[in-house]
Amino acid sequence: MSLFGGALSVEGVIFLIFSVFVIAAAGYGLGRIKIKGVSLGTAGVFIIALLYGCFFFNTLGAELSVKSGEISLTYVSNGLKIIENIGLIMFVTAVGFIAGPGFFHNLKKHFKSYVILSLVLVLTGGTVCAVCILTGKNFSTLDSKEFTAMLVGILSGALTSTPAFSAAKATVTGISPQLEDLVTVGHGIAYIFGIIGIVLFIQIIPKILKADMEKERAILAADIAGKKTDDTKKKNYVQLDGFSFLPFCAAAVLGIIIGSFKVRNFSLTITGGCLLVSLLLGHFGHIGKVSIVPSDRTLKVLRELGLMLFLIGAGVAGGANFVKYFNWIYFVYGMIMTVIPLITGFIFAKYVLKMKLLDSLGAISGGRTSTPALGALINTAGTEDVASAYAAAYPVALVLVVIVSEVLILIFGQ
């Protein structure tokens, strides 16, 4: 059969699918383990995927291709990228539908706070990156351009931001195409702790504050109650199909098309496009007597399945690159760029903006454009209402991280 632009055995495809289910089973098992009330949750899938990539990436490549050598690993990488993107589309589309009913009410009420918090998060990350470039370039074996490309890649990984990663690669190409690889390496090294760090942060903060989660859920629900709908209201409208897959798939298709448009190297990306479309459909809810919103049951399943596939696709490839390019000092840079903006952002949200706990954590997840963070927050909070704050902060951060990444390269990478 022909797949990914070359020959690929049926057995190879089955082995890839088998690997996905092995990682998922082991990952959910790991995610169930709690230490003092803190668990990895779905991020356990990411850890197992990383380990799988570290130890079995080459084996997977040999099994997947009837050819041997480097080209077989290209098949693997392409296959994993497909799994990752399918998962990402499913997850953000489900999140958009879930957040849609209360989104505009919440955005109108807290718009200024979301914009300011996104600015604080992204600018803090950019400032830390600039300081690391200035203090570390004299001790690096890389020249100034190479070191800047590496650290801006680390920033995009620490923020778990695909748009920043894409923008950084596009910008360095104009300086020197060879710098693209360094951006990619930096992103891969920092991405690992970027995900794990924010997932643990989301769970640890409520425990440090000894938060009453039932009370916090009630506060959040009252805060965004303006236009929420429930399954009882949805049942009054005609469903297009039994599981409401038609509106979900239609939203994904339209979102992919919108996210593919580029204006001067900037685009909403597939993630932003799918989120925007599903938010709008979730907000309006119906056309006449016809429902354009999937049922809550369908959305929860697709959200979790999408997150799982996304973490597997990104994790296996990240694990392979981690082994290949790992340098402890770059990992430390990534930790710094992950932790400092998180702590700064939360302190600013709590004490300056006076935001409620779950609202601030949701906005921080969106301000970091972090898909896994939202999944962890939904599990920690015990409510999907947090998706509203995530969705409100996400577009602002999406634009800011792209601008900051490009500015850093233009200032320090010349």
What local confidence, expressed as pLDDT, does residue 336 receive?
94
- Contacting residues for 256 by C-beta, under 8 A, at least 6 apart: 89, 270, 273, 274
State pLDDT tens for residues 141-173.
Answer: 778 888 888 899 899 888 877 667 766 776 776
Q: Which two tokens stand for residue 95?
A: 């999140």
- Half-sphere exposure of residue 19: CA atoms within 13 angstroms, side-chain side: 29
What local confidence, expressed as pLDDT, does residue 5 receive?
41
Q: Which two tokens stand for residue 280?
A: 């709008």
* Cα of 136 vs its chain's centroid, Å: 28
State pLDDT tens for residues 345-380.
Answer: 999 999 999 999 998 999 998 888 777 788 788 888
What local confidence, expressed as pLDDT, does residue 226 receive?
53
Residue ranges and CATH numbers for the domains of the chain are 2-412 (1.20.1530)
- Contacting residues for 29 by C-beta, under 8 A, at least 6 apart: 44
DSSP 159: T
- The model's pTM: 0.68
What local confidence, expressed as pLDDT, does residue 55 receive?
81
DSSP string for residues in 67-115: S-SHHHHHHHHHHHHHHHHHHHHHHHHHHHHHHHHHHHHHHHHHHHHHH
Ranges under pLDDT 50 in the chain: 1-6, 66-71, 227-232
Torsion of CA 248, 251, 253, 254, to 10 degrees: 170
DSSP 292: -
* Cα of 163 vs its chain's centroid, Å: 10
Contact 151, 389 (CB under 8 A): no
